[in-house]
A and B are shown apart, each in its own frame.
Chain A
Amino acid sequence: MHYNEAAVFKWVLIFAVAGGSAIGLALLAGSLVGALYGLVLAVIGCVYGYRWTRNWWREARNRPGGPDYKP
């Protein structure tokens, strides 16, 4: 994964789509439904972030600079 502006821009698109759908749902079905949907999205995001971080540390040894790295 590259850590640059393009990678962050991808997250702008993800948040825009997620936020847009939550806003649309809240306007159509009410604040409570929108809030619950937003909460579900936030939980999914947290689970994804946790799994990504765990995997990142697990593979740290094999990356350049790590003790088990083989070019």
Chain B
Amino acid sequence: MESASVPLPHGAGGHAAEHVHHGPPEAHQSSRIDRQVLGILLFIISEVMLFGSFFASYFFLRVVVNPESWPPHPFELPVAVAGMNTAILVSSSFTIHYALEGIRKGNKQAMKLGLVLTWLLGLTFLFVQINEYVHLGFSDRTEAFGTIFYSLTGLHGAHVFIGLCLLSAAVIRAFRGHFEKEPEKHLGVEVPGIYWHFVDIMWIIVFFTVYIL
């Protein structure tokens, strides 16, 4: 088969036979951070700004409406159920960390177990959230409070759903044996793991702001 070679710079001709490069040149990158990890961190920074705008709207409404009690009468939020859901989501961060620690040590069974548990906990969280929406008794069209409540929790729920999609791909790839001990060979778990932790941290803030304050 004929191979295409890239013209080599002056002085590199002596090793031309050993260094025939195929495809476009390697992009510049830092030796301290993978491109994929850098990408997800930058994405998370943009997500923090998105959530920040929603929190700003929430506090703006709360200060402008300034009711005697919050949530305003007759709204009631199921704090205990949401608290239980918080515990479920925080637990899922521990299980994804367990999965990553497993693959870092070359233990693929631990990784699979951790990933499946995380996926199940995430699904439970989402199911409880949807169940809560069904039984709340108000919709997103019910006054400004309903709108901002569904916007904030719904935005987070959408992130959980995306996280579950990423975890689904990671679970499938884990069972197909795609991941190895070396850091660059399990980025498919590392990146969803970082995203999942972000979703978890964001829920702690959403829960504290919307349900507790």
Residues of A near any B CB (own CB < 8 A)? 3-6, 8-9, 11-12, 15-16, 19, 22-23, 26-27, 31, 34-35, 38, 63-65
Residues of B near any A CB (own CB < 8 A)? 30-33, 37-38, 41, 70, 90, 93, 96-97, 100-101, 183, 190, 193-194, 197-198, 200-201, 204-205, 207-208, 212-213
In the complex, A12→B183 CA distance in Å?
A: 21
Contact A12-B200, Cβ < 8 Å, known A5-B97, A19-B205, A31-B70: yes
Q: Are B212 and A11 in contact (CB under 8 A)?
A: no
Q: Are B204 and A65 in contact (CB under 8 A)?
A: no
Chain A residues whose C-beta falls within 8 Å of the C-beta of B208 in the assembled complex = 19, 22-23, 26, 34, 38
Chain A residues whose C-beta falls within 8 Å of the C-beta of B205 in the assembled complex = 15, 19
Chief secondary structure at chain B's binding surface: helix
Q: Are A4 and B30 in contact (CB under 8 A)?
A: no
Among B31, B41, B205, B212, which residue has the most Cβ atoms of chain A within 10 A? B212
Chief secondary structure at chain A's binding surface: helix
In the complex, A64→B31 CA distance in Å?
A: 8
Besides A5-B190, A16-B90, 19 more A-B contacts (Cβ < 8 Å) are: A3-B32, A3-B37, A4-B37, A4-B190, A5-B97, A5-B194, A6-B97, A6-B100, A8-B194, A9-B97, A11-B201, A12-B201, A19-B208, A23-B212, A26-B208, A31-B212, A35-B213, A64-B32, A65-B32
The smallest beta-carbon distance between A64 and chain B, in angstroms, is 6
13 pairs, A vs B, C-beta closer than 8 Å: A4-B194, A5-B194, A5-B197, A8-B198, A9-B97, A9-B193, A11-B197, A19-B204, A19-B205, A19-B208, A31-B70, A34-B213, A63-B32
